[in-house]
Structure 1
């Protein structure tokens, strides 16, 4: 297993960017409750090509196309449970195939685990407006975790997490059942000091930092301008590696379900030196970011 911790000892690490945007450029529809996970059905080669494009751009972390992929969601879309399990395993296999076909053989494969709110497909990962018991959270996440760990991810990405109680349940499940499995936690935030559920970001990060096998903590899927102050909040709270992967600068319109350019669109690279100075040790991109964005991150990191 390739270790993200080992990569971090050599300096800042570059992660990949958005999957759905790049699939859409290749003619793959992602406008369903399954989002980019629908591509696992008919377009696995396109997913591998997206992974390859990020590796070619200098990414050292490949994130599996599983953020919204879970057996209940596939079943709701009319896909039998056993086929759903095969698709989740295949998402990991496709990432391995991309790495094997690339010169970037030292890249880490991160298994994307989105929150329960992503399964709801109503934007709840950006509000935290849901709550389950710890046992219910664990029951929801258990099977996907088993499938992905068995398929061979190097690290788990517990990402876009709006609620601390869900993270606590997930981390308890991972550390109990897979006591040697590394993972990172990346929160969905209301503002640079607060999770979407109202928990102070500093307190959430301190809880995460005290857990076994965690390799990084941070934030993702937020606006570019939130990253530097969020990093300052995190760095004042913890000493462990910090991970950030914001959106491109475009703004999502939940009414029209479309993205609109802003004054910050296409300015991703200009923020990277500030993020490094504020303590970021892993930098990638989330919604609407591209291989070109990741290439600029890699260039900045290389010249640091």
Structure 2
């Protein structure tokens, strides 16, 4: 099951921050972020998608990262309006794909459904910290008290949190999957910026339940790949502690994503089914300086896994532009950089090194692009670096 025909396959950049930086749209004062622009200025979103396609991206992510019914309710939308808006965001990516195909006679563009973590639906956002309120986690984020995101050995509460997160992700998936036209436009599903082991497990359970609902009479799901990308804001997993008080590592995230485990439901023959394994795993919205060490750790973890799960997933890498985000003030601290193309040069060289040394033995291929604070100009530069010998 492949994401793409080529490796490296080029992904787009940061859609939300491109709307801010290139199209001068303020998205910082709404819980919906780029989804707000999809509803109110749809052609601006189309233009942003086109900017990345013209820059060399062949996989574009939909403007649905923050989308969930709870997020739309907080923004004052009815559930019906929310569902319409979420599906329309996919159609906007489809519109950009059609326009670009007519311009370049290029039909190999893929659309990835962007789904952020539960933390993306919270205020302040908890993508990078994973401090989730019950039942999704042990405690919500506090600006004045110590924060923690682990149950510290309480297995019952941990399992309840996994179940709550499973239902959150399944609810969103079903909004798209129950519209055959929209679901058919989606080439792959991207679960992005996942900070916690329990959420990785919940996503896999949600995909298992989705497969159970769709497999009987909907063939559109067959062959649709999906990935889970983790976030390591300071080079480490945001989940500092878990059962037994041991630190969570990038290896733990790999094991949670790729190990064969029983599914939450039995298959049609009443046998215990196996939770689906993602077609790819990776890293996103993490500073580039941490990628080399993290990729090495993830690759070693993958090599250490033996048994029937030895199929090779894709490696999906899209670092942020290097700026630092404050989720409370919703502002960016801009990096100082003498060469505006150094991000693309350094990242492109890393991807080429990974492709020539690690990929053949561990991964099926690599998908690479940018996350927050990367714009079409960065993808142009990255594409140029990758195209060099």
Of 252-261 and 78-87, the range deviating more from structure 2: 252-261
Q: 1:285 aligns with which of 361, 364, 370?
A: 370
2:150 aligns to what?
none
Residues 1:142 and 2:170 aligned together: yes
Other-structure match for 2:95: 97
1:121-270 aligned within 5 A: 121-130=123-132, 131-132=136-137, 133-149=161-177, 150=179, 151-152=182-183, 153-178=186-211, 180=222, 181-192=224-235, 194-198=236-240, 199-210=248-259, 212=276, 214-238=278-302, 240-254=313-327, 256-264=329-337, 266=340, 267-270=342-345
Q: Using the TM superposition, give the Cα deviation of residue 21 of structure 1 relative to its aligned residue in structure 2, in angstroms.
A: 2.1
3-state SS of 2:207 partner = helix
The aligned counterpart of 1:52 is 50
Is contact 1:189–1:195 with CA below 8 Å preserved after alignment?
yes
* More displaced stretch, 146-155 vs 284-293: 146-155
Q: 1:121 to 1:244 in 2, by over 3 A?
A: farther
Alignment map for 1:51-70 (pairs within 5 Å): 51-70=49-68
TM-score when scaled to structure 1?
A: 0.91
Deviation for aligned residue 1:28: 2.3
Q: Which moved more, 1:138-147 or 1:74-83?
A: 138-147
Max radius of gyration: which structure? 2
Residues 40, 166 of structure 1: alpha-carbon distance in 2 compared, 3 angstrom cutoff? same
Number of residue equivalences:
299
Is contact 2:112–2:190 with CA below 8 Å preserved after alignment?
A: yes
Partner in structure 2 of residue 34 of structure 1: 32
Query: For the residues of structure 1 that align with 2:208 and 2:10, how far apart are their CA atoms?
Result: 26
Unaligned 5+ residue runs, structure 1? none
Partner SS for 1:214: coil
Partner of 2:13: 17
**Distance of 2:189 and 2:119 partners within structure 1:** 18
* Unaligned ranges ≥5, structure 2: 138-160, 216-221, 241-247, 261-275, 303-311, 360-365
Q: Secondary structure at the match of 1:41?
A: helix
